[in-house]
Amino acid sequence: MTSKPVAPRAEAVIDLTAIRHNVELLSALAARSGAATMAVVKADGYGHGAVPVAAAALGAGASWLGVCTIAEALQLRAGGITAPILSWLDLPDDDYTPAVAAGVDLGVATIRQLAAVRAAAVAADRPARVHLKIDTGLSRNGATAAEWPDLVVASAKVVAEGLLDVVAVWSHLAHADSPCHPVLDRQAARLDDAWRRAVEIGLRPMRHLANSAATMTRPDLHYDLVRPGIAVYGLDPTGPPPSRFGLRPAMTFRTRVALVKRMPAGEGVSYGHEWVTPVETTLALLPVGYADGVPRRLGSQPSGVGGLRVLLGGRTRPVVGRVCMDQIVVDCGDDPILEGEPAVLFGSGSQGEPTARDWAEALGTIHYEIVTGLRSARVSRTVFDREPLGAT
């Protein structure tokens, strides 16, 4: 007996064609300044799936990948990715040996890290590749200006031992979303000073600084390599959709109607009865809630947040009452809605559905947090590609 394929109860649908389009666009911007492109695929590709996104990005013009942890880098290697990968945030007791053995570049900001990386190079019997990070004004990781001279001198000694390649000097921007903010230029000047210091003692590193926003708006800060993350996924950090740069959002969050029922006027809906049916109406139950990544604050509440809408049966409709752990209720009026019908919570906006940015704005946050927030085991991920098979 063959059973009919059943659509998942909830899924993040990832359009690799959109990823490819966005990376082509970003790497064309970088190439105009002579810079290469590192697609940032940390946090499981911002929730889109690190390995498929990495493969699509590399096929579309990126030549580097960026991740946060060594585990993320090794997951890419295990997925068959051989391109250069930079991993940038580790704990003091992390073992660098598997990363060095796998040819993963490491962000280094302290003498302690440098010693651990040197030990890993000895253990792996190959030179470690590092990007020395200078804190130019974000005050997160990165060496301070006071620590920098010692770090550079110590690195040069390990280079002389044949145990180290200093691939780059790099930093991260604090105000990239405001392209004219004076701190951007100050950070670039500090990066230049740090780089000069490394060059003066004989190192030959590249420089990199720009995230998505700076890749799109500050070509003068592209240096040798740009590191876009959010824009790879089609979410424009410089303004609301549709993106003025032509970025295409790659993630659609959708589910299916679990149950439909006709309700009389005057019935309270969901916990606390924040919403009461004003007239007889049809309610559709969707099997997703805050445990699946639908923030509870998006439901109707006396606080006035809320305003969540879904695309269902050809138009957007309001979610009524509180968002529960596993379910939400949609008011469909007198329209005929079928059980099992698809409902889109957010997507590119091209069919009128809400976007991740709409959710972020209602919540007072950023779209980064929305797309990385679909973490429930009940939300499956479906990756698809409009390109013919074999195309990269």
With CB under 6 A as the contact rule, the residue among 10, 12, 39, 40 that binds ligand PLP is: 40
42 is catalytic: yes
By CB under 6 A, is residue 251 in contact with ligand PLP?
no
What lies within 8 Å, CB to CB, of 113 at 6+ separation is 90, 106
Q: Rule CB under 6 A: is residue 227 a binding residue for ligand PLP?
A: yes
In which residue are the tokens 């445990």 written?
Answer: 291
Q: How far is the CB of 138 from ligand PLP (least distance, A)?
A: 9
Q: What is the smallest separation between the CB atom of 179 and ligand PLP, expressed in angstroms?
A: 13
* CB nearer ligand PLP, residue 49 or residue 66: 66
User: In angstroms, what is the minimal distance from the CB of 230 to ligand PLP?
Assistant: 4
Asked about 46 being catalytic, the answer comes back as no
State residue 353 phi and psi, 5-degree precision: -70, 155
Contact 39, 64 (CB under 8 A): yes
Window of 23-31, 57-65, 224-232, 318-326 that interacts with ligand PLP by CB under 6 A: 224-232
Residues 134-193 that bind ligand PLP (CB under 6 A): 172
Which positions from 87 through 116 interact with ligand PLP, judged by CB under 6 A? Answer: 88
Q: Which of 206, 196, 184 has the alpha carbon at shortest distance from 63?
A: 206
Number of residues that bind ligand PLP (CB under 6 A): 12
Question: What are the C-alpha distances in Å from 14 to residues 110, 135, 387, 391?
Answer: 38, 35, 13, 17
* Residue 230 lies near ligand PLP (rule: CB under 6 A): yes
110: left (phi over 0), alpha (psi -120 to 50) or beta: beta
Pinpoint the alpha helices (H) of 125-181. 148-160
What whole-number distance in Å separates Cα of residue 42 and Cα of residue 350? Answer: 27
CB of 54 to ligand PLP, least distance (A): 14
- Please give the positions annotated as active site: 42, 271
Residues forming contacts to ligand PLP in the complex (CB under 6 A) are 40, 66, 88, 172, 211-212, 227-231, 237
